């Protein structure tokens, strides 16, 4: 009986059990207690942020950042069409409208098209950017750093500054990725824009089962994020609330798990990078297949390995190859259906979407867990080489 190989599963080999048991023994298992602040502090120092606020999941983190960015009902937010849907849904949570942008060859937002859209499809007056087609104000932009590769933040930040857009980086998939060159050299994904968001969902590079984190450049927003995620309590004793708050705080039990995981992040990133190189070299020998590149300015966490399939040269389509993997119990996954084609968003503006359609058809993500063994790696390669 062959064991199944999953796409991306947790790797629990550090202090997880110790900290969770300690948390249970202390009986401080809810949203107070030391583990929540310990996790926040460890996270902030790991990504070199002035602070961090833990919350229930990455989607809640995005929701809070959109509120803090001052996005108002009826305004617009620029988002990629090629991403998991969470950042797009979060735009709707604040009653704003997404405007979809195409991707480049690293699957990140295409800066050429973004620049063209801003300069030709919008007008800017008194630092207010208005979409000529809809007449709505565009307030913010959410670059999503796909599969570990950071967006071209030099160009993106220059555009955001020129057009007065607030930047919320969705760094969910790129925890541990850093800029190697340019204006932001040495900085971590999620700490370059005004806000950063992260998720600790089960398939992420570190996980606590479910959870999220908010970072912000301005320490005032860190405080405000904590306030909003804990029901906007102005007075602890008399329960006075000056604003609408949210019950988005992470529990200490999950934070204990998160703390143990973040301690291991540098090791996990090292393993992911090594395996990325191994896959890339081995797959480069197979006609019609390659592993998606990483931009030269980015030191990626190599979270996911995206296989590019040239159907004519390889002889199998993405779906045929996926079935072949499934037959030998190896889980693989195509990238997300594009958001501008999803039912709730079909009527929203989508600007010149071309590359995202191409990549949707020819990418398959292959097993990438931190704990993937050499034997499992060989099984994946055997399928690709048509041996298994
Ligand atoms: C890019 C991106 N943003 C946000 C999320 C949502 O995070 P969560 O599942 O913690 O709400 C995910 C995936 O989980 C994601 O891949």
Q: Which sign, positive or negative, has the C-alpha torsion 353, 347, 75, 63?
A: negative
Q: Same domain, yes or no, for 244 and 335?
A: no
Q: Same domain, yes or no, for 77 and 195?
A: yes
With the most atoms of ligand 1 within 8 angstroms of its CB, the residue from 109, 172, 254 to mutate is: 172
How far is residue 232's CA from residue 226's CA, in Å, rounded to a whole number? 8
Question: pLDDT, tens digit, for every residue of 302-318?
Answer: 999 999 999 999 999 99
Final residue before a domain boundary, out of 246, 263, 280 = 263
pLDDT bin (cut points 50, 70, 90) of residue 331 is very high
109 found inside a domain: yes
DSSP class of residue 277 equals H
Q: Same domain, yes or no, for 376 and 318?
A: yes
- Whether 2 shows a pLDDT value over 90: the answer reads no
Of 208, 207, 375, 177, nearest to 272 (Cα)? 177
- CB atoms < 10 A from the CB of 161, how many? 10
Of 206, 207, 251, 246, nearest to 60 (Cα)? 246
Q: Same domain, yes or no, for 231 and 270?
A: no
**Cα dist. 346→102, 343, 349 in Å?**
15, 6, 8
Final residue before a domain boundary, out of 213, 246, 263 = 263
How far is residue 193's CA from residue 217's CA, in Å, rounded to a whole number? 7
Are 141 and 78 in contact by the 8 Å Cβ rule? The answer is: yes
CATH of the domain at 291: 3.90.1150.10
Mean pLDDT across 76-82: 98
How far is residue 353's CA from residue 38's CA, in Å, rounded to a whole number? 43
Q: Same domain, yes or no, for 278 and 145?
A: no
Output the CA 197–ligand 1 centroid distance in Å: 9
Q: Same domain, yes or no, for 329 and 200?
A: no
Phi/psi of residue 336, nearest 5 degrees: -60, 145
Question: pLDDT, tens digit, for every residue of 359-378?
Answer: 999 999 999 999 999 999 99
Indicate if ligand 1 lies below 6 Å from the C-beta of 191. Answer: no
Q: Same domain, yes or no, for 273 and 170?
A: no
Indicate if ligand 1 lies below 6 Å from the C-beta of 144. Answer: yes
Q: 201 pairs with which residues across the strands?
A: 209
Q: Same domain, yes or no, for 236 and 328?
A: no
310 found inside a domain: yes
Atom of ligand 1 nearest to the CA of 212: 10
Indicate if ligand 1 lies below 6 Å from the C-beta of 248. Answer: no
Residues of 11-43 as b/e, b for ≥16 C-beta within 10 angstroms? beebbbeebbeebeeeebbebebebbebbbebb
275 found inside a domain: yes
Query: Locate tokens 């900290």: which residue?
Result: 19
**Average pLDDT of the chain, as a whole number:** 97
Indicate if ligand 1 lies below 6 Å from the C-beta of 170. Answer: yes
Q: Same domain, yes or no, for 194 and 280?
A: no
* Tokens coding 327: 């037959």
Q: Same domain, yes or no, for 43 and 106?
A: yes
Number of H helices, E strands in the chain: 13, 16
Q: What is the pLDDT of residue 388?
A: 55
DSSP letters spanning 149-197? PPP-HHHHHHHHHHHT-EEEEE-TT-TT-EE-SSTTTTPBTTSSSSEEE
Final residue before a domain boundary, out of 205, 238, 263 = 263
11 found inside a domain: no
The H or E element containing residue 364 is strand 363-366
Are 149 and 298 in contact by the 8 Å Cβ rule? The answer is: yes
Question: pLDDT, tens digit, for every residue of 186-241?
Answer: 999 999 999 999 999 999 999 999 999 999 999 999 999 999 999 999 998 999 99
pLDDT bin (cut points 50, 70, 90) of residue 250 is very high
Q: What is the pLDDT of residue 386?
A: 86
Q: 54 pairs with which residues across the strands?
A: 213
Q: Same domain, yes or no, for 309 and 163?
A: no
Indicate if ligand 1 lies below 6 Å from the C-beta of 169. Answer: no
The H or E element containing residue 54 is strand 53-55
Mean pLDDT across 80-93: 98
- Whether 32 shows a pLDDT value over 90: the answer reads no
With the most atoms of ligand 1 within 8 angstroms of its CB, the residue from 8, 54, 59, 197 to mutate is: 59
Indicate if ligand 1 lies below 6 Å from the C-beta of 83. Answer: yes
Question: pLDDT, tens digit, for every residue of 128-141?
Answer: 999 999 999 999 99
DSSP class of residue 4 equals P
CATH of the domain at 201: 3.40.640.10
Output the CA 123–ligand 1 centroid distance in Å: 32
Q: In total, how many domains does the chain have?
A: 2
**Cα dist. 50→215, 308, 376 in Å?**
8, 38, 40
- Whether 106 shows a pLDDT value over 70: the answer reads yes
How far is residue 371's CA from residue 10's CA, in Å, rounded to a whole number? 8
Output the CA 115–ligand 1 centroid distance in Å: 26
Range of the domain at 31: 16-263
Q: Which residues contact 378 (CB under 8 A, 6 or more apart)?
A: none
1 found inside a domain: no
Indicate if ligand 1 lies below 6 Å from the C-beta of 258. Answer: no
- Whether 105 shows a pLDDT value over 90: the answer reads yes
7 found inside a domain: no
Residue 223: CA count within 13 A, CB half-sphere = 4
Output the CA 303–ligand 1 centroid distance in Å: 13
Atom of ligand 1 nearest to the CA of 60: 11
The H or E element containing residue 380 is helix 374-384
Atom of ligand 1 nearest to the CA of 57: 10
Q: What is the pLDDT of residue 125?
A: 87
Please give the model's pTM, rounded to 2 decimal places. 0.97
Indicate if ligand 1 lies below 6 Å from the C-beta of 173. Answer: yes
How far is residue 41's CA from residue 379's CA, in Å, rounded to a whole number? 40
Output the CA 58–ligand 1 centroid distance in Å: 5
How far is residue 319's CA from residue 333's CA, in Å, rounded to a whole number? 9
78 found inside a domain: yes
343 found inside a domain: yes
Q: Same domain, yes or no, for 78 and 136?
A: yes
């Amino acid at each position: 009986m062959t064991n199944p190989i999953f796409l991306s599963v947790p790797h629990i080999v550090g202090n997880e059990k110790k900290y969770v048991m300690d948390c249970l023994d202390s009986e401080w298992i809810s949203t107070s207690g030391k583990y929540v602040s310990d996790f926040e502090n460890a996270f902030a120092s790991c990504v070199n942020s002035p602070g961090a606020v833990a919350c229930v999941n990455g989607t809640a983190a995005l929701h809070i950042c959109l509120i803090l960015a001052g996005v108002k009902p009826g305004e617009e937010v620029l988002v990629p069409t090629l991403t998991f849907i969470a950042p797009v849904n979060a735009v709707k949570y604040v009653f704003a409208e997404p405007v979809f942008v195409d991707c480049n060859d690293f699957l990140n937002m295409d800066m050429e098209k973004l620049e063209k859209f801003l300069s030709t499809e919008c007008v800017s007056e008194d630092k207010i950017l208005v979409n000529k087609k809809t007449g709505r104000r565009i307030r913010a932009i959410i670059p999503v750093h796909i599969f570990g590769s950071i967006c071209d933040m030099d160009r993106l930040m220059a555009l955001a500054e020129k057009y007065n857009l607030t930047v919320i980086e969705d760094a969910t998939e790129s925890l541990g990725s850093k800029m190697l060159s340019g204006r932001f050299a040495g900085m971590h994904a999620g700490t370059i824009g005004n806000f950063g968001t992260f998720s600790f969902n089960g398939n992420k590079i570190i996980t606590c089962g479910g959870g999220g984190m908010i970072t912000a450049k301005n320490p005032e927003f860190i405080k405000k994020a904590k306030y909003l995620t804990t029901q906007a309590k102005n007075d602890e004793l008399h329960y006075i609330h000056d604003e609408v708050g949210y019950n988005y705080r992470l529990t200490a039990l999950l934070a204990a798990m998160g703390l143990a995981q973040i301690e291991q992040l540098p090791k996990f990133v090292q393993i992911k990078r090594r395996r990325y190189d191994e896959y890339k070299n081995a797959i480069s020998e197979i006609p019609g297949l390659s592993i998606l590149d990483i931009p030269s300015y980015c030191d990626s966490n190599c979270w996911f390995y995206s296989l590019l399939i040239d159907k004519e040269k390889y002889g199998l389509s993405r779906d045929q190859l996926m079935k072949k993997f499934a037959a030998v119990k190896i889980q693989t996954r195509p990238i997300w259906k594009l958001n501008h084609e999803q039912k709730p968003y079909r009527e929203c503006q989508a600007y010149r979407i071309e590359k995202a359609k191409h990549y949707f058809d020819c990418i398959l993500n292959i097993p990438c867990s931190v704990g993937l063994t050499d034997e499992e790696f060989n099984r994946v390669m055997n399928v690709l080489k048509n041996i298994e």
